[in-house]
Amino acid sequence: MSANQQNQNPAPKIDFQDPEFIRNPFPAYDYIREKDPVFRMLMPHGQYAWVITRFEEASEIVSDARFVTNYPMQDPEDDSDLPAHKAIISRNLLSVNPADHRRLRRLIQKAFTPKMIKNLRGRIEEITDELLDKVQHNGEMNLIEDFAFPLPIKVICEMLGVPVKDQFKFQDWSNHLMESVNNPALSQQGEDATIGFVNYLQTLISERRQQLGEDLISDLIKVEEEGDSLSEHELYSLIFVLIIAGHETTVNLIGNGVLALLEFPEQKQKLIENPEFIHSAIEEILRYNGPAEVSNVRWAAEDVTVAGKTIKKDDMVFVALSSANRDPEAFADPDAFDITRKVNNHLAFGKGVHFCLGAPLARLEGEIAIRELLRRMPDLRMKDDQDALVWRQGMIIRGVKEIPVVF
């Protein structure tokens, strides 16, 4: 049978919007990895896309220059067909051509150097203690609202010079944007969130141009005003992505991590007794139930054969990170949660040129947050049945809306 004939085989049934799949996608991924690890499916918006579920192919594709993140049939410099609010944020790290990606990444990289991240440790610890102090006497909290969300949003707001009083606006906008990805039923809320976010950025940047400060937005404005290195749309796009990515990853890392530790109480106790395991525990959290369901969308820049399937030029491709990180061919006993796992080369943050820029910051925030949470609240447990948790919609993110806990 030819590769093209194989491409016509019926795709496995999978619905990224189905609440049961969102709650527990792993049995479906197990089946698909075995039966058809590179399959083509009809997406909710009516376009076909390839979904990659096995670690071997996933690892190759996320670092393969033949799969690009800028839409190949559109001039990367031309955003004239986009609505004004989308055009302003269209030139971001996730959607520009490789040359522009390298240029933009170099501009922002200085904020995420190992030295800069190390210097943030003390402030992250202060914010962590402040948040836990507020709820310690209550004996209960909503882990997401009271802890997992405000920690990273305060950090990124302070880095950027954004008023922390606006943090809940970012939470609403980010939730609506992430949940509307490839979900036509929620497209209007995504549009409204984008407009609100862009209007906010326009006001913020206008004010900052009048009075520069000692923050990342001011640094980027200075670069943009110098001319060649950063356009106005790139300025907006970078700030937009930094605010979204700067907290979404950590919110879900902390939330999913605590859920895993509560699901496996012997691992929780092991971490309490051996806090030095926090580094390997964070890596296992990222592998076992990481903050991203799939990678950002890619397109084939040319015909590529993957596991015997021909992915045609301009075809859309998604890498199912949650599936790849549970592949038994890559990880021993993949459904077990083991905070001392030695071999753990997961793909939670991607790989190659698009490896998550904020990964060191997310890891540090996750380590401090979970370590201090367990140190101060060792009797932490779910207030309600874990099956009652509501998981957030959307293909990109993986996390829950609320986690009521008692301690």
Share of the chain above pLDDT 70, in %: 91
Distance CA 67, CA 163 (A): 38
pLDDT tier, 244 (very low <50, low <70, confident <90, very high otherwise): confident
pLDDT confidence of residue 170: 84
User: Residue 228: what pLDDT?
Assistant: 62
**Structural domain boundaries enclosing 183:** 3-406
> pLDDT value at position 1?
39
Q: How does DSSP assign 385-397, residue by residue?
A: -GGGPPBPPSSSB
pLDDT at 167: 81
d(CA 369, CA 32): 35
pLDDT in tens, 132-147: 999 999 999 999 999 9
Q: Under 8 Å CB-to-CB from 15, ≥6 apart: which residues?
A: 21
How far the first Cα of the chain sits from its last, in Å, is 59
Residue 6 binned pLDDT confidence (cut-offs 50, 70, 90): very low
Write out the two tokens for 29. Answer: 């991924």
Q: Determine the pLDDT at residue 80.
A: 52
What pLDDT sits at residue 185? 81
CB atoms inside a 10 Å sphere around CB 273:
9
Of 304, 290, 289, nearest in space to 50 by CA: 304
The interaxial angle of helices 121-136 and 359-376, nearest 10 deg, is 40
pLDDT classification of 245: cutoffs 50, 70, 90: confident
pLDDT value for 4? 44
The first and second tokens of residue 4, run together, are: 């093209």
pLDDT per residue as tens digits for the range 159-214: 999 888 888 888 889 888 888 876 778 888 889 989 999 999 999 999 999 999 99
- pLDDT tens digits along 86-109: 667 766 776 777 778 888 888 888
Pair of tokens at residue 219: 């640094």
Q: What angle in degrees, to the nearest 10, is found between the helix axes of 216-226 and 98-109?
A: 130
Higher local confidence (pLDDT), 107 or 362: 362
Q: Under a CB-based contact definition with an 8 Å cutoff, are residues 295 and 325 in contact?
A: no
The confidence score (pLDDT) of residue 8 equals 45
Look at the alpha carbons of 295, 248, 42, 78 in this order and tell me if their dihedral is positive or negative: negative
What is the C-alpha separation between 239 and 216, in angstroms, rounded?
9
Tell me whether strands 48-52 and 316-319 are parallel, antiparallel or unpaired. parallel
Question: Quick one: angle between helices 265-273 and 232-263, nearest 10?
Answer: 100
Domain count, the chain: 1
Query: In this predicted structure, what is the pLDDT of residue 74?
Result: 52
Give, for 284, the enclosing helix (H) or strand (E): helix 278-289
Tokens of 143: 């882990």
Kindly report the pTM of this predicted structure: 0.89
The Cα 242–Cα 34 span in angstroms is 37
Q: What pLDDT, on the 0 to 100 scale, is given for residue 47?
A: 87
Q: What is the pLDDT of residues 247-304, one digit of tens each?
A: 999 999 999 999 999 999 999 999 999 999 999 999 999 999 999 999 989 999 999 9
Q: Which residue has the higher pLDDT, 247 or 378?
A: 378
Q: Is the pLDDT of residue 386 over 50?
A: yes
Q: What is the mean pLDDT of residues 366-379?
A: 98
CATH of the domain at 73: 1.10.630.10
Confidence of residue 7 (pLDDT cuts 50, 70, 90): very low
Sheet with 67-68, side-by-side order of all strands: 38-42, 48-52, 316-319, 298-300, 67-68
Joined tokens for residue 282: 């964070």
Query: Which of 247, 246, 239, 199 lies closest to 220 in space, CA to CA?
Result: 239
Task: State residue 65 phi and psi, 5-degree precision.
Answer: -65, -15
